[in-house]
Structure 1
Amino acid sequence: MNRFDLVSQTEEWGCGVACVASFLGTSYSEAKDLLRKHKGGKSVNANPKGLELHHIALALQERGYRVIADWQEPERFREGTIVCISGDKPYDGHHYIIKTRKGWMDPWHNMGIKPRKADFRSSYPDGTEFLVALVPQSAG
């Protein structure tokens, strides 16, 4: 697997896992194990559901990246930025997408339809808005 490849989430609340897998160029399973460790051994589907910002930041830090959280939407996102969005159904819960050269990698592009399918988008899904950006940077 290559960095910034498409990664479909396999679980209801697995969008953050898929974004980390895409960022690191690892499998969904490997990213899930890494994130479970930083969620205190709990499943990514455990309450509270999904991943919080610090789970993703700690996992990326372990792999040699530091992450800056920014609540002000920039005019231009850098490649590798993981963004949390929210909005109208089916996006009324938080959903993570990641910026790539090909656009936004959305790990559940066909939200609400199974099987889940990842794809690239030119912009946020309709009916959503920016909440926060996680901007990874090399630690060295």
Structure 2
Amino acid sequence: MNAGKNKRIDPDALGLWECCDGIWYTPGGRCPKCGKTAADRAGSSASGNSKPEPVETGALVQLCKAPQGIFPDSVRLRVTIVRGCGSIPLDHDNLVGGSKPLRDAIAKLLGRDDAERHGIEWEYRQEKGAATRIEIQEVK
């Protein structure tokens, strides 16, 4: 055992960043205490050399731009989350579990905090590619 030769991890080399309470996050992480991301942290630096953030075009951002109130509360909806996958698709449990934050955000945007009680049916699919698509249909 190499007890005398401890190697230290270089957080900068791994893209890690530190926030509240000394907790370290990955580049895509968000601090649960203050809500900041690595981009927020870089933007608030004193150097002023931060790059402008790219315009988001993901599925949830497009849903945010949809007209509010397009589906009345009395309408039953079927929401299909189609996730892009690589050569090995996720099993059903991981597909559904990994979609939970997106599912919660969709329900909130639709104004239906308790999705099942407010008439939302959920379906999950995978297709080759990297994009995520959200399909919302009225159930007749």
TM-score range, shorter chain: under 0.3
Using the size of structure 1 for normalisation, the TM-score is 0.23
Q: When you count strand as a share of all residues, which structure comes out higher?
A: 1
Using the size of structure 2 for normalisation, the TM-score is 0.23
